[in-house]
Structure 1
Amino acid sequence: MTQTLFVLNGPNLNMLGQREPGIYGSLTLKDIENLCHSKASELGISVDFRQTNHEGQLVDWIQEAGLTAKGLVINPAAYTHTSVALQDAIRAVGLPVIEVHLSNIHARESFRHTSFVSPVALAVLCGLGANGYPMAIEALANHLDQGDA
């Protein structure tokens, strides 16, 4: 059976391509989704790619991933810095998680330097733009192949 990874995206990422391209780049979320599916296909796995502007929906999807997926790549966007609920959901499902950010959150405003997701993540990729997503998928697939899950 093919391994499935969830790739979850938080608020305002649906605005990529038009929202502050100097920070977030010119690719759209659909472009990033295509990059993720391409990398997954190359690795022989599948990706369930989703975006929402609602914190509770992300929590529901994390819980769903705990039942149906082998791992999770998440860009919680602004919820990175505010959501204990996301941390609790990730901790509860026990899946390996890689946190991704398009920009380097540590080179931005000080409130962005704190992540509630990082303490429960296997790894964090930030500042690599859209390339961080396929890198995270490959790293997670390698982690799972090595039996480290």
Structure 2
Amino acid sequence: MRCVFVLNGPSLNLLGVRQPEIYGRATLGDIESECRVLGAELGLSIDFRQSNHEGVLVDWIQEARGAAQAVVINPAAYTHTSVALLDALSAFDGPVIEVHLSNVHKRDAFRRHSYVSLRADGVIAGCGAEGYLLALRRVASLLAD
């Protein structure tokens, strides 16, 4: 099985209770369960993680270099600020898909810039929790090519 790291940034541990009108009612646990089910169907092993700390996310991306064939990442607020995440992702050789629950282009102007997008092979925004599943389908397609 091919391994995919699904990495989640700050405050995503509060999904379902934090601004559900923007981020939806699904919890991160709900999303993880759905990813594991679809991953199994697609022949992907899912390593699902969340941290509020930028350095931890950098460490996990570096770990993925030897342990995973792809990275799906919702960098949350670090999307707009983290050159460190961009640098770590740039050192990863496999596919990278960036996911955002909300449509960042309909929100505050600062949310329209993503450092992560400079490395991402695809960006999925505004599809809610389904965005993670779309990302896994895209990863499976890219790994099959």
Structure 1 residue ranges without an equivalent (≥5): none
Name the count of aligned residue pairs. 145
What TM-score does the superposition give when structure 1 sets the normalisation length?
Answer: 0.96
Distance 2:122 2:44 in 1: 20
Cα distance, 1:95 vs. partner? 2.2
Deviations 1:4-57 (CA, angstroms, capped at 9, x unpaired): 000000000000000000000000000000110011011111100000000000
Distance 1:67 1:108 in 2: 36
SS at match of 1:62: helix
- Counterpart check, 1:16 vs 2:15: yes
Deviations 1:76-124 (CA, angstroms, capped at 9, x unpaired): 0000000000000000122210000000001100000000000100000
Cα distance, 1:134 vs. partner? 0.8
CA RMSD of the aligned region, Å? 0.5
**1:80-91 superposed matches below 5 A:** 80-91=79-90
What TM-score does the superposition give when structure 2 sets the normalisation length?
Answer: 0.99
- Counterpart check, 1:141 vs 2:102: no
Distance 1:56 1:44 in 2: 30
Distance 2:55 2:128 in 1: 26
SS at match of 2:129: helix
Distance 2:94 2:45 in 1: 16
Cα distance, 1:72 vs. partner? 0.3
Distance 1:54 1:95 in 2: 23
SS at match of 2:91: helix
Q: Which runs of 4+ in 1 moved over 2 A?
A: none
